[in-house]
Chains A and B, each alone.
Chain A
């Protein structure tokens, strides 16, 4: 990732309120690098993380984290991809597989459980709103996001929502952006 883009991300992540919620908007070309950079910044700052992944399988994510020296021990993945390819995908202490990216109720239950047992600083990384919109109706997704963000605010859990600039339905984007403390464009 270019130095000035990393600077924008680092600056954007500064001075956030406790239990911050941030919408991170970037281009499809940069989304992977930007996501990894954000994970690195936050885990290096003692955050543990739950990654809700609708875009990449967990094995790929853990391999990328390792390559980028991101502390895997701090990360739990809720994987919505693997089971669409292999129904026998197995869970372990750091991974829970969900059927697919449209099981929003199960996602909310799992996120709720993890938030309840959170110790120390935690953030939830949602990758991505754009992908979730492929699998869910826009109003249903907006309601899901409002619901989980409200629960996070009640528990002081932070959240980084990734969205592809120009690729996300304008109304859903506005509905979600208005719930956030900050929108960072990288």
Chain B
């Protein structure tokens, strides 16, 4: 799928699941973000996999304007590491309370200027390593409800292809508007 197509695909869709090859996972995720920004979206990027410092550097090297994003750095919180001080980076506490995370997403969405917005979950399976499945599902259901009540807000879940057969991922896949196999 070309970068431009993904931006078009997101238009008018409330929830999309991207199944990415594990070998090119972050590369493909970056392509999606780049494509969305090129289609005048701005977004909240919830990072379970990589700390903000790494994301910011990789996005910079790949021509992605971090100023159009707010990154919620869950990865650093998961390992209780010192978090970056940057206006585009939102910190959460190491307990990773789902309600706190949801609140952080709401607050971050308000910081975006564009009419078209997205919420980008870099990996649902990574958070499930740390939180009970019930909490992971509660998180995804909450997001799903939120995007369905908002105009011009698209939710993108990413998952590695080899993990897409996990029961809870299949349950979530049933609720999205489209599953895109990259």
Contacts and interface: CB of A to CB of B under 8 A. Distances in A.
Interface of A: 17-19, 139, 142-143, 146-147, 150-151, 153-154, 170-171, 173-175, 177-179, 181, 183
Contact of A177 (B23, B81, B126, B130): B23
B37 to A, nearest CB: 20
A40 B130 CA distance: 36
Given A142-B129, A150-B50, A178 B75 contact: no
A146 B49 contact: yes
A167 B110 CA distance: 47
B43 interface: no
A53 to B, nearest CB: 23
Nearest to B129: A143
4 A-B pairs closest in CB distance: A174-B162, A177-B22, A178-B25, A174-B22
Given A173-B22, A183-B23, A154 B82 contact: yes
Contacts of A170: 162
Interface residues of B, number: 29
A65 B26 CA distance: 34
Contact of A178 (B49, B51, B54, B61): B49
Interface on chain B toward A: helix, strand, loop, or mixed SS? helix
Given A174-B162, A175-B163, A17 B58 contact: yes
Nearest to B165: A171
B123 A178 contact: yes
Contacts of B25: 177-179
B72 to A, nearest CB: 14
A19 B125 CA distance: 24
Nearest to B24: A183
Contact of A171 (B57, B79, B163): B163
A143 B127 CA distance: 9
A146 B57 contact: no
B53 interface: yes
B78 interface: yes
Contacts of A147: 78-79
Nearest to B53: A154
B13 interface: no
Contacts of B57: 17-18
A19 B161 CA distance: 26
Nearest to A171: B163
Contact of B79 (A139, A151, A175, A179): A151
A181 B78 contact: no
Given A174-B160, A174-B162, A179 B81 contact: no
26 contacts: A17-B58, A18-B57, A19-B54, A139-B129, A142-B129, A146-B79, A147-B78, A150-B49, A150-B51, A150-B78, A150-B81, A153-B50, A154-B54, A154-B76, A171-B162, A173-B22, A173-B162, A174-B22, A174-B160, A174-B163, A175-B160, A178-B22, A178-B26, A179-B49, A179-B50, A179-B126
